[in-house]
Chains A and B, each alone.
Chain A
Amino acid sequence: MNATTAATLPVPPSKPLGLLDWLTSTNHKQIGTLYIVTTLGFFGLSGLMAMLIRADLTVPNNPWLGRQLYAEMFTLHGTAMIFLVIAPFALGIANYILPLQVGAPDMAYPRLNALSYWLFLLGGLVVMSGLLTRDGAAAAGWYAYAPLSTTGAAGTGQDLWAVGLLMVLASSTMTAINLIATTVLYRAPGMLMWRLPIFVWDMIVTSMLILMAFPPLAATLAGMLIDRLLGGHLFDPSHGGSAVLYQHMFWFFGHPEVYVMVLPYFGIVTEIIAVFSRKPVFGYTGFVLSTLAIAGLSMSVWAHHMFTTGAVLNPFFSAMSFAIAVPTGIKYVNWIGTMWRGAIIPSTAMLFSVGFLLNFLLGGVTGVMIASPPIDYWANATYFLVAHFHYVLGGGSMFAALAAVYYWFPKITGVTLRETWGRLNFWLIFIGFNATFWPMHWLGLWGMQRRTVTYPDLPHWGTLNLISSVGAAVMFVGVLVFLWNLWVSLRWRVPAGDNPWDGFTLEWATTSPPPEFNFERLPPIRSERPVWDFHHPATSAP
């Protein structure tokens, strides 16, 4: 393999893609782009629902949104963010970036990949289509406890919710198979498993979690549909079914799902922090092993969501949940160690990654608190819990997702995003996010339970909720700045070049955007940083 001109080969310009090309493409880059754009669309929709929720809660004793609409909004907000934004955005980034990072021309099964995307889009639309039915969308919360969701008032929207999610689950399962197969079978010569970029490792482990955790949810949803449509009583205690069983089955999926929603983002920030510290990842092997440990432990902590049922062996699930804090905490050693003695470049992507570090830490330590059953008796189902998981998924995953957009935008579009708008975007979202969710810790410990359309005028409750709603508005402006930045950068193009960040991994060895089958030539792969080694031979791998 001749690598002397690898990074600068001229590539003939490809003709712009038409609508038919997008609809029929099996190329991983088009499918990845479709995924990313679609999840940004669902992010906007779901964000607007969050704005309605915050507007409703701005002042006490003012349930102007109405009980039914409020329940639909928090149900769809949670469902969409979890199933249609955070998890599939990572799958979209992986679709685009993972084949490039392992040096492959495409995914292992391109047509299966196209099926995954279109099934995902259809499933998302089916979930949302409940809004068009006469009795409204699903309104039983995103975990839809039986028997509230299987009997009684829940209408057609609940059926559409379950059917749509089944499609999304099937889609994610196929993508997980595809990502594993691509990594195992299509790695370029020299790309040993222990030279895979951390992001690829994290996607492998995420895919394994998807394969283990999503079938149980599919079974749960099938059970829900059997109860609702075929007169079954699986989860209906009045006919011998079990409501506790539903919770077990749901959370057996639900906790691994949390790691499906954070592991890819661990990978993303690890890549970004290393590149913008101009140093290799600190403790690569430990990072990979701790990711595997998280995956293993995450299969054995599900009932910590059920501490307050009185139906599970709390000390066991508590101990396992404490244990999972160790490999998660180790990541911080990797991240801080990577910055240590580096040459840190504070780009927007790096700012969002640092924002991830700061926010996710808070979500992590509150997670350790509620891993203690007595504290969970206090905090569970209150706004303390709402604050906790928003710090994990919003302050964590969402910040990492925005970092990913700023980092890989040049590779995908050929142009960089504006750094000035990027900084404004970061600060608005960072300040807005913390103003929204920090006060909820107090509200929760003072006993404000979640999912109520309104709340009494107790001391300070109105003030803290007002701060929270103002914070949400600031975040909303931050998102508008983000969209403006996308528009400005695409309209008035500043060419990025092939390797604007002095990157490490193979996607930076090809053109921006890459040609149809990705690479004309590859640099030699002798470490986990082939492109860095190529450009900095004096400092290359041992």
Chain B
Amino acid sequence: MPGGAGATLQAESIHRLLFIFLLATIFVGGTTYFLIFWNLIKYRRKDDRVPPQFRGQHLIESVCIGTAVAIVLVLFVFSNDVEKFVDLDRPNALVRIRITGFQWSWRFEYLGGGPVITGTPASPPTLVLPIGETVHFEITSADVVHSFFIPEFYFKRMAIPGYTSGFDLNVVHPGVYRGVCGEFCGLDHAYMNFSVSAQSQTAFAAWLARERPARARAP
């Protein structure tokens, strides 16, 4: 199973969901592969006799359709349950950050008079987040479509010009995480990176106090 259990509450639930899907995949894929190989070996042509010329078997077909419907229904229920949590959008959270993607870096604006951090491809910005706290993000783009992607959070959201959407993250583990652009956005797409520094709430509060009043870093 690739990746750890995830660094946010959202990532943990997505990771559990992927595990359920992998189990279903192994069941469906394994059964199908077994039947393909079993038929290939058992019914390989041995002589010139013409095999029985039947055209179907309603019971088998119906049972298979029923099984398939049941499997996807169960998977949808699990998936929708996780999505309801992952898609929570709470604009009244204490920490609110506005993300703006541009060619080819990111701008993070801590709403309510906090700092504004603007990066360049050469000096990628750092997004500082508190752990154990709901952080609300709103995201848009200044030019073309980008995508805010933190692999270890198992999460991405497109930054679309002329359109703002919101999402929440609850970081669980402190640490430094890699962030990239997930949507091709022109020549320097590969270098549109940022890093995420997840800190304890006290460290985050101290950082916020240091950075206030809002001032933009280079350039």
> Can you name 29 A-B residue pairings with CB atoms under 8 Å?
A67-B188, A67-B190, A145-B183, A147-B144, A237-B161, A244-B160, A282-B55, A284-B55, A308-B182, A309-B157, A309-B165, A310-B139, A310-B167, A311-B160, A318-B80, A318-B83, A326-B65, A332-B32, A333-B65, A369-B25, A374-B82, A377-B86, A378-B18, A380-B182, A381-B149, A381-B156, A446-B3, A452-B189, A539-B53
The residue that A447 contacts in the complex, of B33, B60, B180, B190, with Cβ under 8 A, is B180
- Is A9 engaged at the interface, CB distance under 8 Å to the other chain? no
- Contact between B50 and A343, CB atoms less than 8 A apart: yes
- Contact between B18 and A322, CB atoms less than 8 A apart: no
The residue that B14 contacts in the complex, of A237, A361, A378, with Cβ under 8 A, is A378
Q: How far is the CA of A311 from the CA of B159 in the complex (A)?
A: 11
Q: How far is the CA of A380 from the CA of B13 in the complex (A)?
A: 17
How many residues of B are in contact with the other chain, CB < 8 A? Answer: 78
- Is B202 engaged at the interface, CB distance under 8 Å to the other chain? no
What is the CB-to-nearest-CB distance from A447 to chain B, in angstroms, rounded to a whole number?
2
Q: Known contacts being A308-B158, A310-B167, A344-B44, is A68 close to B187, with CB within 8 Å?
A: yes
- Is A63 engaged at the interface, CB distance under 8 Å to the other chain? yes
- Contact between B79 and A148, CB atoms less than 8 A apart: no
- Contact between B43 and A340, CB atoms less than 8 A apart: yes
Q: Known contacts being A342-B43, A361-B29, A381-B149, is A67 close to B162, with CB within 8 Å?
A: no
- Is A314 engaged at the interface, CB distance under 8 Å to the other chain? yes
Q: Give the residue name and chain of the A residue nearest to B140 (CB).
A: A237
Q: How far is the CA of A361 from the CA of B27 in the complex (A)?
A: 12
Mask: chain A, 404-439; 1 = CB below 8 Å from B; 0 = not: 000000000000000000000000000000000000
Q: Known contacts being A147-B161, A311-B163, A318-B76, is A380 close to B156, with CB within 8 Å?
A: yes
- Is A281 engaged at the interface, CB distance under 8 Å to the other chain? yes
- Contact between A336 and B75, CB atoms less than 8 A apart: no
Mask: chain A, 517-542; 1 = CB below 8 Å from B; 0 = not: 00000000000000000001001000
Q: Give the residue name and chain of the B residue nearest to A371 (CB).
A: B79
- Is A40 engaged at the interface, CB distance under 8 Å to the other chain? no
- Contact between B61 and A283, CB atoms less than 8 A apart: yes
Among A170-178, A206-214, A272-280, the one that faces the other chain is: A272-280
Q: How far is the CA of A536 from the CA of B182 in the complex (A)?
A: 59
The residue that B61 contacts in the complex, of A68, A333, A339, with Cβ under 8 A, is A333
Interface set of A (CB-CB < 8 Å, partner B): 63, 67-68, 71, 140-141, 145, 147-148, 152-153, 237-238, 241-244, 277-286, 308-311, 314-315, 318-319, 322-323, 325-326, 329-330, 332-333, 336-337, 339-346, 354, 357-358, 361-362, 365-366, 368-369, 372-375, 377-378, 380-382, 442, 445-447, 449-455, 536, 539
- Contact between A377 and B155, CB atoms less than 8 A apart: yes
- Is B204 engaged at the interface, CB distance under 8 Å to the other chain? no
Q: Give the residue name and chain of the B residue nearest to A280 (CB).
A: B55
What is the CB-to-nearest-CB distance from B98 to chain A, in angstroms, rounded to a whole number?
14
**Which positions 157-212 of chain B face chain A at CB distance < 8 Å?**
157-158, 160-163, 165-167, 178, 180-190
- Is B2 engaged at the interface, CB distance under 8 Å to the other chain? yes
Among B34-42, B111-119, B125-133, the one that faces the other chain is: B34-42
Q: Known contacts being A368-B72, A377-B86, is A153 close to B187, with CB within 8 Å?
A: yes
Q: How far is the CA of A341 from the CA of B40 in the complex (A)?
A: 10
A140: B residues at CB distance < 8 A:
184
- Contact between B35 and A336, CB atoms less than 8 A apart: yes
Q: Known contacts being A145-B144, A361-B29, is A277 close to B51, with CB within 8 Å?
A: yes
What is the CB-to-nearest-CB distance from A91 to chain B, in angstroms, rounded to a whole number?
29
Q: Known contacts being A148-B186, A377-B14, is A333 close to B80, with CB within 8 Å?
A: no
Q: Give the residue name and chain of the B residue nearest to A540 (CB).
A: B53
- Contact between B165 and A341, CB atoms less than 8 A apart: no
Among B28, B54, B157, B161, the most chain A Cβ lie within 10 Å of the Cβ of B161
